[in-house]
């Protein structure tokens, strides 16, 4: 999986990838870290991409047990979506299995440094 780094010249939005994402099943992993990059929380889910919009982002209707019925929106940076290799994807937090998703995406969300100190 390729990390996205500052200065990466690959476009954030690609209409071809956007059209492939619409209706796809995606495995999502999000790790939250503090301002010193220490992990604080992690969520995993999978679901159906119901909307792909260059401004609003990617909407995923969750199908796993914990988040079923919720819609998560991810940023419209399609560089973070990768075609999944065939196989079994196990959600560590719930033990659920997802077989042969279309795409995977992983995100790191960094909390801002506390400005009050």
In angstroms, the Cα distances linking 106 to 56, 60, 74, 76, 80 are 18, 14, 10, 13, 7
Q: Among 5-14, 38-47, 88-97, 102-111, which is the least confidently predicted range?
A: 5-14
Q: How confident is the model at residue 1 (pLDDT cuts 50, 70, 90)?
A: very low
How far apart (Å, rounded) are the C-alpha atoms in residues 60 and 74? 8
> Which among 78, 31, 71 is positioned nearest to 53, based on CA atoms?
78
Stretch (H or E) spanning 25: strand 25-33
Res 6 pLDDT > 60: no
Number of Cβ within 10 Å of residue 48's Cβ equals 16
With a CB cutoff of 8 Å and minimum separation 6, the contacts of 6 are: none
Res 9 pLDDT > 80: no
Instruction: Provide the 8-state DSSP code for 80.
Output: G
Average pLDDT, the chain: 89
**According to the model, what pLDDT value does residue 75 have?**
93
pLDDT single digits (tens) 54-76: 999 999 999 988 889 999 999 99
Mean pLDDT of 88-101: 93
């Amino acid at each position: 999986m390729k990390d996205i780094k500052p200065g990466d010249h690959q476009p954030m939005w690609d209409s071809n990838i956007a059209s492939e994402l619409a209706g796809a099943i995606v495995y999502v992993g999000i790790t939250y870290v503090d301002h010193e990059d220490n992990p604080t929380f992690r969520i995993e889910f999978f679901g159906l991409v119901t909307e792909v919009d260059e401004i609003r982002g990617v909407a995923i209707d969750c199908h796993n047990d914990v988040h079923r019925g919720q819609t998560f929106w991810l940023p419209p940076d399609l560089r973070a979506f990768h075609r999944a290799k065939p196989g079994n994807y196990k959600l560590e937090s719930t033990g659920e299995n997802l077989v042969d998703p279309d795409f995977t995406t992983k995100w790191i969300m960094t909390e801002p440094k506390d400005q009050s100190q």
